[in-house]
């Protein structure tokens, strides 16, 4: 018996739990899209730009743990996927991209839209293959899926246009294999070694990342035993409730000096589920115990004194039970003073900003959003100056997910990610926080939100500038040039797309308008005119040396 290749591909993806495939229709993938018309899964989700499709696939994979999927046609369609796949690859998120290719007899020819797609995608994927014969497609697709799951990265398969309708032998689909994601685990004596270091610590601290999301309760219990401050990274900011007496501020750009002083003053830092480390802000790094599910992430970007590998939800309970639980009065007092000082500093900063003028200060906008963003929301952050203000003033509830473009840091991420989050996590509320520069790169996806009827709340930090670059130019004494933005009225533009639009031009309007916007049933955009205030971030303590070119 035989079957069409296109049917096999969709059956194989469905067997792996792929619910949605994001993409833009194009000549070389039309059979694949048409075949999804009468299927319950996977569903084809048409978007306005292929880059957005890749961002959406990444967001769905981050929230669900399954392999995200996106498709594109040959030539420019395929090329548009590259940025989004690079984002998934650098953040270790499993995403499968399937691209169409011109008919197989054009391979190697000089013809429109023909390019070596394997070369194009190899730099941003764990695996890339161009199918050379219809019968070889099943093996390539399965290998791509298995690689995405096992290596936690982006993968790519290219299929020539004339292969989709071809009959292939009735190869059975291969079901999802859980052992592919079986994590490495350190031996018990290795965990005991970490405990020995904790018993020597007098001033312990915890830096918690997104890898700790399944073990937040144990992180907090361990912190209470150790009397250790917990400082979440940006991606974990929604998972750790800021009301907890040991959850203290943020560090890095947009962070506070008080939180950084705690890390610098600690004699042992537990780095849990994160690859982030403030190397530029620590002249003398403390001893570090690095616990991560990925062996290659232990010691990454940090001077790890000791490493433990495994899922935090399995390792931390034993540490909680055996950790040294005794009073550290001097350290406890220092932590409490730092938390109070942070709260007072940020409150004073907002009060002064409100007195400075009627225009909304970006920090005041984040402070207001703390009151309006639902406690269980998915928050999608774009890249830009507003992220630093979010890092500084956001107060997580402990039940929120924060999605970011982490290592790749691509503008235009938040709106597509929010649309995918609304589909994958319905009925959870979803909020996209975007700068005016980032929104300009993904504006067309407003139409996607309307078409899909997803109730995303989009809040625009509209300072009419690429403010991060503008402030950097000023700080370096450069001539400020090329960073100003001539923005439309985003609220009116949103209305023309079918999105309910609001605009805030004065501080006194902010809470009232946000209250109205968050009550709307459907996609809504709030255009907030903000000042371009520079973030008062702590100064680096380690000189940044540029390499000398000889």
Does position 505 have pLDDT exceeding 70, yes or no? yes
Mean pLDDT lowest among 116-130, 142-156, 394-408, 526-540: 526-540
Does position 550 have pLDDT exceeding 60, yes or no? no
**Cα distances (angstroms) measured from residue 96 to each of 88, 144, 214:** 10, 7, 25
The structure tokens 């009735």 sit at 170
Which residues does 204 contact at the CB level (< 8 Å), separation at least 6? 198, 226, 227, 228, 266, 267, 268, 269, 270, 331
Does position 310 have pLDDT exceeding 80, yes or no? yes
Which residues does 252 contact at the CB level (< 8 Å), separation at least 6? 234, 276, 278, 281, 391, 537
Q: What is the pLDDT of residue 251?
A: 85
Burial 501-518 (b: 16+ CB within 10 A, else e): bbbbbebeebeebbeebb
Q: What is the pLDDT of residue 542?
A: 59
Q: What is the pLDDT of residue 548?
A: 43
What confidence tens digit (pLDDT) does each residue in 167-184 have? 999 889 999 999 999 999
Does position 543 have pLDDT exceeding 70, yes or no? no
Asked whether 13 and 21 are in contact (CB, 8 A), the reply is yes
Confidence band, pLDDT 50/70/90 cuts, at residue 541: low
What's the rounded Cα separation, in Å, for the pair 420 and 443? 15
What's the rounded Cα separation, in Å, for the pair 417 and 56? 5
Q: What is the pLDDT of residue 419?
A: 98
What confidence tens digit (pLDDT) does each residue in 405-414 have? 999 999 999 9
Q: What is the pLDDT of residue 149?
A: 97
Q: Quote the strand ranges of 382-539, DSSP E.
A: 401-403, 430-435, 456-462, 500-504, 524-529
Cis peptide before 296 (omega within 30 of 0): no
Does position 546 have pLDDT exceeding 60, yes or no? no
Does position 537 have pLDDT exceeding 80, yes or no? no
What's the rounded Cα separation, in Å, for the pair 431 and 459? 8
Sheet holding 378-381, edge to edge: 401-403, 378-381, 430-435, 456-462, 524-529, 500-504
Q: What is the pLDDT of residue 153?
A: 97
What's the rounded Cα separation, in Å, for the pair 494 and 282? 44
Q: What is the pLDDT of residue 91?
A: 96
Question: Angle at Cα 485 formed by Cα 482 and Cα 491, nearest 5°?
Answer: 170
Tokens of 192: 């005991």
Does position 365 have pLDDT exceeding 80, yes or no? yes
What's the rounded Cα separation, in Å, for the pair 90 and 366? 28
Q: What is the pLDDT of residue 202?
A: 96
Does position 545 have pLDDT exceeding 70, yes or no? no
- Among candidate residues 36, 26, 5, 3, the one with its CA nearest the CA of residue 162: 5
Sheet holding 127-130, edge to edge: 43-46, 20-23, 68-72, 95-101, 154-160, 127-130
Q: What CATH number does the domain located at 2-168 have? A: 3.40.50.970
**Cα distances (angstroms) measured from residue 36 to each of 6, 32, 51, 101:** 10, 7, 21, 19
Average pLDDT over the chain, rounded to an integer: 93
Which residues does 250 contact at the CB level (< 8 Å), separation at least 6? 231, 232, 234, 237, 256, 259, 391, 392, 394
Which residues does 334 contact at the CB level (< 8 Å), separation at least 6? 203, 262, 265
| Beta-carbon-side half-sphere exposure of residue 238 (alpha carbons within 13 Å) | 20
> Domain coordinates of the chain in residue numbers?
2-168, 188-337, 357-529
Orientation angle between helical segments 414-424 and 445-452, nearest 10 degrees? 10
**What single string gives the DSSP state of each residue in 347-364?**
HHHHHHHHHH-SSBPHHH
Which residues does 138 contact at the CB level (< 8 Å), separation at least 6? 8, 12, 168, 171
Residue, of 282 and 235, whose pLDDT is higher:
235
What's the rounded Cα separation, in Å, for the pair 94 and 452? 24
Orientation angle between helical segments 312-322 and 188-200, nearest 10 degrees? 50
Q: Which residues are paired to 458 by β-bridges? A: 432, 525
Q: What is the pLDDT of residue 549?
A: 44
CB count, 10 Å around CB of 344?
A: 11
> Which fold does the domain 357-529 belong to in CATH?
Rossmann fold (3.40.50)
User: Could you check whether 2-168 and 357-529 share the same CATH topology?
Assistant: yes
What confidence tens digit (pLDDT) does each residue in 27-59 have? 999 999 999 998 999 999 999 999 999 999 999
**Cα distances (angstroms) measured from residue 426 to each of 67, 213, 248, 253, 418:** 18, 20, 31, 33, 11
Asked whether 381 and 402 are in contact (CB, 8 A), the reply is yes
- Among candidate residues 219, 184, 535, 192, the one with its CA nearest the CA of residue 353: 535
Could you tell me the sign of the dihedral formed by the alpha carbons of 452, 400, 250, 407, in that order?
A: negative
Q: What CATH number does the domain located at 188-337 have? A: 3.40.50.1220
Tokens of 129: 């293959």
Average pLDDT over residues 93-120: 86
Q: Give the three-class secondary structure for 155.
A: strand
Asked whether 430 and 421 are in contact (CB, 8 A), the reply is yes
The structure tokens 């499968």 sit at 96
Mean pLDDT lowest among 9-13, 14-18, 478-482, 542-546: 542-546
């Amino acid at each position: 018996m035989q079957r069409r290749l296109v049917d096999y591909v969709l059956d194989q993806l469905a067997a792996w739990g792929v619910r949605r495939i994001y993409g833009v229709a194009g000549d070389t993938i039309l059979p694949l899209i048409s075949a999804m018309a009468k299927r319950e899964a996977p569903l084809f989700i048409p978007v306005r730009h292929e880059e957005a499709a890749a961002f959406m696939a990444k967001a769905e994979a981050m929230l669900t743990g399954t392999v995200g999927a996106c498709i594109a046609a040959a030539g420019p369609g395929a090329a548009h996927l590259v940025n989004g796949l690079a984002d998934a690859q650098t953040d270790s998120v499993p995403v499968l991209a399937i691209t169409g290719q011109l008919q197989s007899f054009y391979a190697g020819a000089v013809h429109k839209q023909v390019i070596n797609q394997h070369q194009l995608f190899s730099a941003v994927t764990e695996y890339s293959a161009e199918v050379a014969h219809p019968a070889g497609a099943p093996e390539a697709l399965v290998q791509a899926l298995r690689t995405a799951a096992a290596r936690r990265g982006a993968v790519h398969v290219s299929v020539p246009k004339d292969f989709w309708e071809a009959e292939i032998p009735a190869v059975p689909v291969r079901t999802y294999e859980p052992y592919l994601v079986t994590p490495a685990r350190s031996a018990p004596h290795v965990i005991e070694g970490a405990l020995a270091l904790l018993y020597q610590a007098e001033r312990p601290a915890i830096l918690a990342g997104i890898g700790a999301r399944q073990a937040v309760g144990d992180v907090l219990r361990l912190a209470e035993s150790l009397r250790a401050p917990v400082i979440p990274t940006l991606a974990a900011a929604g998972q750790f409730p800021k009301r907890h007496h040991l959850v203290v501020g943020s560090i890095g750009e947009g962070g506070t000096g008080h939180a950084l002083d705690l890390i610098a003053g600690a004699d042992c830092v537990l780095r849990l589920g994160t690859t982030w480390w403030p190397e530029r802000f620590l002249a003398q790094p403390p001893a570090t115990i690095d616990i991560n599910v990925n062996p290659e992430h232990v010691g990454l970007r940090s001077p790890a004194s000791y490493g433990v590998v495994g899922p935090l939800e399995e390792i931390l309970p034993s540490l909680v039970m055996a950790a040294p639980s005794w009073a550290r009065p001097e350290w406890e007092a220092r932590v409490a003073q730092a938390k109070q000082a942070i709260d007072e500093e940020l409150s004073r900063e907002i009060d002064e900003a409100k007195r400075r003028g009627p225009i909304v200060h970006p920090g005041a906008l984040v402070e207001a959003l703390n009151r309006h963003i639902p406690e269980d929301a998915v928050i999608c952050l774009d890249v830009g100056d507003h992220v630093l203000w979010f890092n500084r003033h956001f107060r997580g509830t402990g039940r929120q997910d924060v999605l970011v473009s982490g290592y790749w840091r691509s503008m235009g991420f938040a709106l597509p990610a929010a649309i995918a989050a609304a589909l994958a996590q319905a009925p959870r509320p979803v909020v996209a926080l975007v700068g005016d520069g980032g929104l300009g790169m993904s504006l067309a996806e407003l139409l996607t939100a309307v078409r899909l009827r997803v109730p995303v709340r989009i809040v625009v930090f509209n300072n009419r500038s690429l403010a991060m670059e503008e402030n950097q130019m000023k700080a370096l004494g450069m001539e400020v040039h090329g960073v100003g933005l001539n923005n439309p009225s985003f609220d009116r533009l949103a209305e023309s797309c079918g999105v309910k639009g609001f605009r805030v031009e004065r501080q006194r309007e902010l809470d009232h308008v946000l209250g109205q916007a968050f009550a709307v049933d459907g996609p809504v955009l709030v255009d907030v005119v903000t000042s371009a205030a520079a973030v008062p971030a702590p100064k680096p303590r380690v000189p940044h040396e540029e390499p000398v070119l000889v």
